[in-house]
Amino acid sequence: MRRPGAQRLVSEAFPAPAVLGTDLIGVPEGAEVRLDLSLESVQEGIWVSGTVNGTAIGECGRCLDEVRQEIAAPVQGLFEYPDSRAAGEEEGSEDVFEFDGENLELEEVVRDAVVTSLPFTPLCDPDCPGLCDQCGARLADDPDHAHEVLDPRWAALQSFTDEKES
């Protein structure tokens, strides 16, 4: 620390402290998340880069089936010392985080990396046909699924013949 050039490699697996993801898909709280990071001391703070691995679970946006997706997302961010932040020109930059000089709060940078790697609309299959708009059946399970649609005019005729027969 405070020695530019010093580097440390960290490989660690831990349970997700909270859901990492969006409302639709994410790594559930408590599920294993693996970090393989390089922590490099630079002038302004600590430069963190590497990957986060985990399994996101969500719901298909069309048929609501469970969707599982392996994540291998690139992580990078600069954890700046508070004093260098005050003088920093990069204020407001996305990948810059505050560093109190003792603990790297990795949750935010990891969360950002995971969220960025997740699909906006998760799908169980890119060709998922979704649900029947009449009865809600999952069309992928039953490709020939169809409802007999009676034209209202035919329906009227039908009731006419029914009456005649009775």
**Counting contacts by CB under 5 A, is residue 131 touching Zn ion?**
no
Report DSSP letters for 86-123, one per residue. Answer: HH-S-TT-TTEEE--SS----HHHHHHHHHHHS-SS--
**Counting contacts by CB under 5 A, is residue 63 touching Zn ion?**
yes
In this structure, the strands spanning 45-59 and 32-42 are antiparallel
* 33 to 62: interface string for Zn ion, x by CB under 5 A: ---------------------------x-x
Nearest-angstrom CA–CA distance, 82 and 79: 9
Residue 22: CB minimum distance to Zn ion, A: 17
- Which of 63/96 has CB closer to Zn ion? 63
**Counting contacts by CB under 5 A, is residue 137 touching Zn ion?**
yes
List residues binding Zn ion (CB under 5 A).
60, 62-63, 65, 124, 128, 132, 134-135, 137
